[in-house]
Amino acid sequence: MKQYKPMFARLAEAPFSSDDWIFEVKWDGIRAISYITDELSLKSRNQKELTDIFPELSELKALAGNSVLDGEIIIMKDGKSDIQTLIQRMQDTNPREIMFMAGKFPATYIIFDILEKDGKELSDTPLMERKRILKNSVKEGNFIVLSLFVEGTGVAYYRAAMEKGLEGIIAKKKQSSYEPGKRSNNWLKIKPEKTCDCVIFGYTEGEGNREKIFGSLILGLYDAKGPVFIGKVGTGFSREYMENLKLTLDKHKVEEETLPGVDKEREITWLRPDIVCEVGYQSITDDGKLRIPVFKSLREDKDPLECTIDQIRPVISDYAEKRDFSITPEPPMLHETEKDMGTDMGTGMSKFVVQEHHARRLHYDLRLEKDGVLKSWAVPKGPPEISGDRRLAVQVEDHPLEYGKFEGTIPQGQYGAGTVKIWDKGFYETIYWKEDKIEFIAKGEKMEGRYVLVKFKKAGEKNWLLFKGSE
C-alpha cells in the first residue's frame, strides 16, 4: 500500500460563501493518515506510528476495510479540542499510563478524506466523489466519526463556528484533487486571530543568527495581586525591526527580576515594565500561557497597568466581591485554566445545572455554561414544565464553572444564605444566543426539550422570561 503525505491548506484572508466550495470545522489536533488492511497503521505528519499511543482508535480496523484515510485526532474538553491533553498523551510511553489516559481522556479520529480504496488510488478523484466513497466505506464508532460539511454557506458556517468557540473552518473546492504534501489554494483555512496587549518584562539571550539581538520577549499581564507571566514571543519580527527594538528595550534595563514565575532556560535581561506590545495568539494553554504567540507591534498608546489578565480570563469579580470565602463553603473564583465542569466530550454540548436554593425565599438558579463561566438566572417559581408556561428569571452575576457541582449550606450573614442542592443537571445545545434572547435544547432528567429566555425589558434590565417551547 502506497504511503501518503497529507495535503495542507493555505490561510484565507476572510470567510466567504461559494457554491463551488464546501466548508468543514477546523480542529486543533494531530493530523493522521490511517492505513487499513489486515492490520491498522496510524501515521502522524512526521511518520510517527500512533496506534499504540491511541489504542481506543483500534476500532477503525473493524469500521473501514482496505483503505487509506485522512483525518485529525482530537481530544474534546469544555466543548473544544484540547491540544494540551493531546500532547500529553503523545508523550506517554508507559503502557499502563496509556491505557489509563485512553479511558480518562479518549481521543476521537475525525475522518475527512479517503485517498485509496481496495487498492485504487483516489487522489485524482474530485473531492465530492471522494466524500461519497468515504461515506460508503467507513462506519462511525465510539471514537471514529466522519467530518460533517456544508455546501456554499461559508460565511454563516464561520459565524456559527465562532459562536461555539471553535478554532475556525476549512474551505475545500468541490472539484479539487488530493495533492499529497502540498499546501494548496484548493484548501483554505479560515480562522480569527485573537490579540492581547502585553507588558514586556524582559528578553532572553539570542542564539545563532540572533546572538547579538535577543531570542524572545518575556510577557506579563496584571491581576489583582501583581504581574503574571503569560509566556514568551519570538516570532513576528523582521531582523531590522529586532535590532531597532533591542535599542529601545535596553533603555529600560534593570538588574533585579521584574516578573516571577519565568522559566530561566536561557539568560534573561530584565526590563522595567514600561513597554506594551500587541501579540496575536491562537488560544490559552492549560497553565495560562499564550499558545502560538506572534508579535504584532508596540503599543505606545497603552499604559502598562491597563494590560490586565481579564483579556485572557473570564471576569467574575461581582461573584467574588459578594462572598467571604473564609466563611462560605462556595467555591472561590477560579482562573480559566482551572475549569472542570466540562462538556460532553462526545458531543461538544455545554453543561447546565439547576440548583434549588432555600434562601430567604425558595427559588431555583438556572446556570448555563458559556465563555468559561456559568451564566446565571434566579427563577422564583422554578423552570416551566409545560409548553407556553412562562416564568420570571432574574439574571444574576456570572458564577465560576466549579459552582455547577456545589451543594451545601451558605452561613447566615453571607450573601444568599441558605441551603443549596442540585435539582437537575445535564447538557444543552445552543440554538440562538443574543443579547436579548437565548434559545436552547436541554437534555436533563427534569428539563428536557426546547427552552427560551427573552428579556422582559418593561420589568427591568435584569429581568427575563423563561418559557418552554413547543416540541
Active centre residues (catalytic): 26
What is the rounded distance in angstroms from the CA atom of residue 29 to the CA atom of residue 200? 30
Beta strands in 104-263 (DSSP E): 108-117, 120-121, 144-146, 149-152, 169-173, 183-190, 194-204, 217-223, 226-233, 253-254
E strand or H helix that includes residue 382? none
Are 186 and 20 contacting, i.e. CB atoms less than 8 angstroms apart?
A: no
Strand partners of residue 40: 36
Q: Please state, in angstroms and as integers, the Cα–Cα distance from residue 61 to each residue in 3, 41, 56, following that order.
A: 18, 9, 11
Under DSSP, the state recorded for 360 is: S
Distance from C-alpha of 467 to C-alpha of 471, rounded to nearest angstrom: 12
- Please tell me the total number of residues recorded for the chain in this structure: 471
- Grid cell locating 166: 471553535
Task: Provide the H-helix boundaries in 7-126.
Answer: 60-63, 83-91, 95-104
